[in-house]
Each structure stands twice: as structure tokens, then as C-alpha cells.
Amino acid sequence: MNIFISGIGGSGAYYLAKYYSLSGNKVSGSDLEKNKRIEDLITYGIDIYIGKPNDNFINNKENNEGIDLYLYSSALKDDHPERVFINKKNINQYEIGELTDLIIKDYLKNRLSENEKNALIESNLAPLLKIEWNNKKYIAITGTDGKTTTVNMIYHILKKLDKRVAVISTIGCLIDDKFIETGLHTTTPSSQDLYNLLSKEEMKDIEYIILEVTSHALAMGRVAGAKFDVAGITNITTEHLDYHKNVEAYFQAKTRIITEHLKDNGIVILNKEDKSFNKLKKIALDNNIKFETIDKNFAKKILLLKDIDTEYNRLNASIAYKIVSTLTKERIDFDILSDFKGISGRMEYIQKEPFTIIVDFAHTENALKVLLKNLKNRLKDNSKLRVVFGCAGMRDKTKREKMGNVAISFADSIYICPEDPRLESLHDINREILKGIGIEVTEEDIKKEYIEFINFKNKNIFLFQEFSPQARYNAIRKAISDANKGDIIVICGKGHEKSLCFGTKEFEWSDQNAVRDILKNSNISLL
């Protein structure tokens, strides 16, 4: 079989290329520039064309004739020249993550030839198959919102029960209080990175390992072979439709934690307050999966610190509590989380007086809604709620208008600024946010670096559009300079993250550091 891979130097494409080459297929591909993975693939005899969408490939029949299978990364949009070229031909094609998942499924169901089985192992396409999952207790948390908070609450409870615990989440890897910076920009690492973390010497004596698992990881085979003792689903709203394409596909990806990744006696914890509950319950029943539930009444019993005591955090805490009590069979007091201070970038208070400043990771419609609704209820007298946010480029476009609508529904002042625009037009991103707010702008106006909409529906909207981190800094500075005693400023979207992406370049960035720098220069005392 003759296989061509666009973006062959990406991590997922790299392992697939090795798998097919070791299986005896002819493999070639293209990428923008060389890296170590490409140099390694060349040693396998794989032809790789380097440069922008490659004329050598598209225009040279010797290169492009006879292709049986075409593979591409989800990062490559429909209008990518190589994808357009392939779409004009009757060539079988797959997205890299989707195909990886299918191959591993075939392996698990014994549908691969001996040669293909050997190639899968030798290529390291599915390293988690080598983990002995019964040697420790494994916990998984998935959902649209609240995953990172929940896994860290579980960690906190288990540590207070004197258990030896590790957690792998968005923030990094924590092994019995020893923090390991993963340097990864994804919630769930690749299966290879995850295998390396799980195989560390420090993990040897760990009893419980908690994993934060995304829909991408479930759909793309990143946790293929993983088996959990207990899993929790915080909620399922909408996110990542840029990859999953529709809500049903997103939902099905999440439910694979129930249908494919529980041990024989595994249990799933479901949230009765979430709209997805009845569908999830049916899936559990249909697959003879044991399940436990939490609800508002259960959540009322949980004691949390005032700063993080919100309805959604109580539900997150309830899942954490239920998971640990179910797994350990120990009696746990409901105040066990009363000293849990939260985590970086989740309802993180930077200042409380004379006005409050909070950094939060909220970057979905639902997360922004529950956050702003909660903070709105905390306002006193005539104080104002001010929100700084934006939407990421080259990600789910369907949420932008919805997030704009949420912002105008709850906030008194809105400061729209960049949040990783990547290669997408910042103007286009902001136009969609403004549409949700109810503002239509002209082509001339939308391209300005700064726009004010004063007293729009009795609220103020400020748009910062310089294509650099300075725009986000300016938005935060404006919100702080506008604030009066008792106001609440919440800065959303970046949370714990340490960089901002413009084009293909990552700039060092921290919302927390930006706030502290602005406060320092404005002589406002910190918390």
C-alpha cells in the first residue's frame, strides 16, 4: 500500500508513519520544516517533502500517482492545498487521530496480522498496552468543565487519608507532592508521554494515580489500553466542535470512558444535575456498568473555603468525595476539603481589596456562564462585574457568539482581547464574539486596534485587537484602571497557562504576572 501523510513530522503522524513502514508499506509525506522526528523517519527510507504546501508533491505525478491512503492532521484545514488536491481524487483518507484509534481497536480485537501486530508494538504506537493496570488503583476524570479542579480535589482527599498518590492533569504531574512540569500544552498527554510519566521511578510505590482525560484523548487513542477502577464525568456541554464536528460525536467520545476504559468491576460516577445524566445512565445500564450518582442535595453536605464555594465546585467536590469513598471504602468526613485552597488559574484570587481580581480558566460557554452568574451574585451595592476574555483561534468557532451572549448577559463591562489567535484573524474571532453581544461592526471599524462601545445596553465594551500579547496586557490594565471599590474583575481563558500563541510563535505570558505588574505600577496593594 502507498501512503502519503501531510504534516508527517507531528507526533501522531510520526508513530503512524513508523507503523505503516514497519508493516511493509511505502510511506511518504510532507511538512513545513524538518525536526528530529522527520530525521528519524528518513532513516526508515521514508520520502519527505519539506516546505509550504508542496508543489513537488502536487504537481509531480511521479510523486502523487498511485496513492492508496492519505492521512492528515486535524490541524490542517479543509482548504489546505494538499487536502484540496486529494479531495479531487478518489483516494481513501483519514484524520491521523481517528485512524490511530481504529488501528488500536483492531489490535485489541485481534484483527491485525502478525506483521501488523509486531509493527504496532515496535513503532510504539500504543505504549499504554504495556502498562500493568491492575498493579495500582487508577482514577479518570472527564467532562467539559471542572476536570482539573476535580482531579486535584481527589488528590487532596487521598493525601489526607495518608495514601501515596499521583495526578496527571492540565497543570502538570504531581507525584506524592513532588511537582513535575510536563511542558505539555494539552490536558491529556500523548500516549507516549503518558507512558513515560506512568513509568517513572517515582511512580513505583504510588498506590493511586488520577488522570484528567479529554474528549480528544478518548477519540484519538491517546489512552488506548488504559483501564480505570473508577471514572467520573463532571458534565457534558459543548466544546471542541472544531475537531468532533457535532455535539453527538463529542458526546460519544466522552462516553468511551464508560464503554471502553473501565476494569471489569469498574464504577462510573455521574452528575444528576447535568443534562447528559439520563443518556449516560442508559449507556451504563446498557453496558452493565456499575454507577454511583451525586446531586445538589449531596453537594450541600460538602464544606469548602468561602473563596471557592460555588455550586459547580460543590458538584466537583461531590464527585471527588464519592470517588474516593467508593474506591477506598473508608468513612470520610464532609469537611475533608475545607482546607482545599483551589489551584492555579481556577477561581484564583490575586487581590480582594479595594476591588477583587480573579484569574479563571473559563473558556467555554457553560464555564463562563456559571462563573459570571456566581460572581454577579457576590456583588454588593452598586459594584460592577468586569470580565476580560477572548476566544482561541483555530478552535471551536461555535462557542464564540455564545460566549459573547453570556458576557453581555452578566457582566457590566466587557474587555475583549486575544486568547491564542494562532493563525486565525483576530478580527474574525472578535466579530463573532461581538455578534453574540449584539454589535455589528463595519469592515473599517473591526480592523482598528482599539474600539469602545460605551453605554451599549447600559454596559461598556472595549475591544483590544493588536496582534500581540500587549493587547491582552492593555485589556487587563484598562479593567483595573476602570475598577472602583467593591468591583469584581475576572480574567478568563488562560488560567494556569504560561504562553500566548500569535501565528506560530509562543510568547511567554501569565495573566497572574500581568495583573501583579499592573498593580505594582499603580500602587494598589495586593492580597
Q: Extract the runs of DSSP E, i.e. beta strands, from 352-422.
A: 356-360, 385-389, 413-416
Whether 342 and 158 have beta carbons less than 8 Å apart is answered as no
Q: How far apart are CA 330 and CA 163, in angstroms?
A: 12
- Give me the mean pLDDT over the 189-206 stretch: 91
pLDDT value at position 183? 54
pTM above 0.85, yes or no: no
56 in helix, strand or coil? helix
21 in helix, strand or coil? helix
Whether the predicted pLDDT of 184 surpasses 50: no
Neighbours of 315 (CB within 10 A): 25
pLDDT tens for each residue of 57-69: 665 655 567 789 9
pLDDT value at position 527? 45
Whether the predicted pLDDT of 258 surpasses 60: yes
pLDDT band at 331 (very low <50, low <70, confident <90, very high): very high
Q: How far apart are CA 314 and CA 302, in angstroms?
A: 7
pLDDT value at position 57? 62
Cell numbers found for residue 39: 530525521
Q: How far apart are CA 413 and CA 389, in angstroms?
A: 11
- Give me the mean pLDDT over the 364-387 stretch: 93
pLDDT value at position 15? 95
Q: Vertex 296, ends 230 and 228: CA angle to 5°?
A: 5
Classify 354 in phi/psi space as left (phi over 0), alpha (psi -120 to 50) or beta: alpha
pLDDT band at 313 (very low <50, low <70, confident <90, very high): very high
pLDDT band at 443 (very low <50, low <70, confident <90, very high): confident
pLDDT value at position 238? 63
Cell numbers found for residue 61: 505525478
pLDDT band at 243 (very low <50, low <70, confident <90, very high): low
- Give me the mean pLDDT over the 514-518 stretch: 96
pLDDT value at position 245? 57
pLDDT value at position 526? 47
Nearest to 32 by CA among 75, 78, 65: 75
Average pLDDT score over the chain: 90
pLDDT value at position 42? 96
Nearest to 490 by CA among 388, 408, 378: 388
292 in helix, strand or coil? strand
Whether the predicted pLDDT of 187 surpasses 50: no
Whether the predicted pLDDT of 417 surpasses 90: yes
